[in-house]
Amino acid sequence: METYLKKPIFFFLLFVFYFSHLNRNHTACGYSQYKYTSERYYMALEDTDHVKRGFQALLHSFLENLQKNLSTSILLNVAANTTDVIEIENRHHKLTDLSSFFQYSSEQAALLVGKIELCFEITKNESESYLRKWEEIRWSLQPSISTEVKALVDEYFIEMQSFHTMFSDIIDDFSEYVAHVLRSVRDIFIEYADIQTDSFRRFKATKLCYNVYMDFLQQWSAIIFKCTTATDLNTAYDVYTTSETTSRHVMTQLEFRMQRLHNCLASRDYRMRCQFLRNPERDLSKLFIKLDELQQYFDIKIKRGRVNSNRKRRSDISEGRKSIELKLKMQTNRDHNSTAGNENKCIPIDFPYKYMSTNLKKCFDFLLWESK
Ligand SMILES: *[C@@H]1O[C@H](CO)[C@@H](O)[C@H](O)[C@H]1NC(C)=O
Ligand SMILES: *[C@@H]1O[C@H](CO)[C@@H](O)[C@H](O)[C@H]1NC(C)=O
Ligand SMILES: *[C@@H]1O[C@H](CO)[C@@H](O)[C@H](O)[C@H]1NC(C)=O
Ligand SMILES: *[C@@H]1O[C@H](CO)[C@@H](O)[C@H](O)[C@H]1NC(C)=O
Ligand SMILES: CC(=O)N[C@H]1CO[C@H](CO)[C@@H](O)[C@@H]1O
């Protein structure tokens, strides 16, 4: 072939190679041959995110809607030209809408807890599956590969295992906290919805009573809602989002390491390409730092600044001290009767009867109530 033809052909081949390379599914640093992290993991993240955004949107405009739906002055204007029957029906709907809202929100909180717990479990399993993949590679090594390299692969594996243990512990702590917060939101909302349904059964449906009761519910719904969704819920969203970001990063890094191991063992040049195996601690140090940061973030967010200044190094982690400490802390938090104990401080005892004006009390069949 003429030399003047060779050059374009060379560039053409380079071009083809480059674009065929681009068109592959890339996951880690552009040269992933296999997708190591499962679709299931990414789908779980997406799905959870979707439900989380839905839940946030649902709660987002509650206070405005409450104002709109239960404002008696707006209803009075509308009602000026309607019959009493229509008007009362209208108000009846507003009140059932309100309790439906709390019931639905409670269900959504429960759904979100389920999604988040599953997502965290899949995350842990995904991390564990990297250990299995590493072992598979270890067992399928060619006999020609030296025992020295095999030993290095084993040592690296031990470091990965230690990373996995630490990562799983942190995920467990995050999961416990987020689930705890969301479950208490679920419990308060459903209790409040039940109280409304129950009260409504004893309600005397007159025009005046509707007005007084709607004012009452508008005021208390705002109080109870704000109390339930205050700092803890926002912290829980934050904790979840942060752990999700870190988890994505961890998966990319693990994937990268699998690919690198694969490449190094497939090449004949171990000395060059398997360098990273020689010092697993250093090679994984950035990932361990990432976990440390995550743990610190968690301590600051949850323990509200009461941070143990001596950051725990890995030597401690293998003893599992940190996670036991955290679990104990969470257990003591939860021990005050989780379903109806400290969480439901947002709904006062003997609500609503005790908090009603004398006028409003007259609107209920309160003989039934007092005998309760
Ligand atoms: C990977 O590539 C295949 C085939 O080209 C495609 O069907 C699939 O959706 C891709 N997956 C991702 C995550 O891009
Ligand atoms: C307000 O009314 C709308 C329409 O009836 C309903 O969809 C919504 O859930 C209500 N919101 C509240 C907070 O009552
Ligand atoms: C995670 O792994 C455990 C143990 O291997 C298994 O029992 C569980 O079903 C897995 N969870 C999910 C969601 O795949
Ligand atoms: C917790 O609830 C149980 C019943 O569910 C009750 O027997 C116990 O006294 C409660 N403990 C506290 C501290 O309220
Ligand atoms: C019940 C009542 O007052 N209905 C009136 C509502 O307003 C229309 C005119 O806008 C009247 O025709 C109705 O009689």
Asked whether residue 312 carries a pLDDT value surpassing 70, the answer given is no
Q: Which amino acid is at 298?
A: F
Please report the pLDDT score of residue 75 as a whole number: 53
Per-residue pLDDT, averaged over 281-306, amounts to 85
Give the SS3 label for residue 45.
Answer: helix
Which residues have C-beta within 8 Å of that of residue 156, sequence separation ≥ 6?
134, 261, 277, 280, 283
Give the pLDDT confidence of 208-244 residue by residue, as tens digits: 888 899 999 999 999 999 999 988 899 999 999 999 9
DSSP 8-state class, residue 35: -
Please report the pLDDT score of residue 6 as a whole number: 64
Q: Whose CA is closest to 263, among 253, 252, 251, 275? A: 275
Please report the pLDDT score of residue 34 as a whole number: 53
Residue bearing the CA closest to ligand 2, atom 14: 98
Residue with tokens 């679920």: 186
Residue bearing the CA closest to ligand 5, atom 7: 81
Q: Which long-range contacts (CB under 8 A, 24 or more apart) does 348-351 make?
A: 351/195, 351/220
Give the pLDDT confidence of 147-196 residue by residue, as tens digits: 888 899 999 999 999 999 999 999 999 999 999 999 999 999 999 999 99
Between residues 273 and 246, the one the model is more confident about: 246
DSSP 8-state class, residue 351: T
Structural Rg of the chain based on CA atoms: 30
Residue bearing the CA closest to ligand 2, atom 1: 69
DSSP 8-state class, residue 230: S
Kindly list the domain boundaries of the chain, sorted by start residue: 38-69+86-306
Ligand closest in space to the Cα of 118? 3
Q: Is the CB of 65 under 6 A from ligand 2?
A: yes
Ligand 4 atom nearest to CA at 337? 1
Residue 265 sits at the vertex; the CA angle it makes with 260 and 269, to the nearest 5 degrees, is 100
81 Cα–ligand 5 center, Å: 6
Instruction: Report residue 203: phi and psi, to 5°.
Output: -85, 140
Ligand 3 atom nearest to CA at 118? 13
CB-facing half-sphere around the CA of 112: CA atoms within 13 A: 28
- Assess contact for 134 and 261: CB atoms under 8 A: yes
Write out the DSSP string of 265-323: HHSS-HHHHTGGGG-HHHHTHHHHHHHHHHHHHHHHHHTTT---SS---HHHHHTTHHH
Q: At what angle do helices 62-70 and 207-229 cross, to 10 degrees?
A: 170
Asked whether residue 304 carries a pLDDT value surpassing 70, the answer given is no
Ligand 3 atom nearest to CA at 122? 13
Q: Is the CB of 96 under 6 A from ligand 3?
A: no
Beta-bridge mates of residue 203: 364
186 Cα–ligand 4 center, Å: 20
306 Cα–ligand 3 center, Å: 34
Ligand 5 atom nearest to CA at 83? 1
Q: Whose CA is closest to 263, among 274, 249, 253? A: 274
Ligand closest in space to the Cα of 58? 2
pLDDT more than 90, % of the chain = 51
The H-assigned helical ranges of the chain are: 3-23, 39-60, 62-70, 72-79, 84-139, 147-201, 207-229, 231-266, 270-273, 280-283, 285-302, 314-318, 321-335, 358-361, 366-370
d(CA 311, CA 318): 14
CB-defined site of ligand 4, < 6 Å: 336-337, 341
179 Cα–ligand 4 center, Å: 21
164 Cα–ligand 1 center, Å: 28
98 Cα–ligand 2 center, Å: 6
Q: Is the CB of 44 under 6 A from ligand 3?
A: no
Please report the pLDDT score of residue 342 as a whole number: 44
Structure tokens at 203: 């309600």
Mean pLDDT of the chain: 80
Ligand 3 atom nearest to CA at 125? 1
43 Cα–ligand 4 center, Å: 40
Q: Which amino acid is at 276?
A: F
Least confident window among 42-46, 93-97, 135-139:
135-139
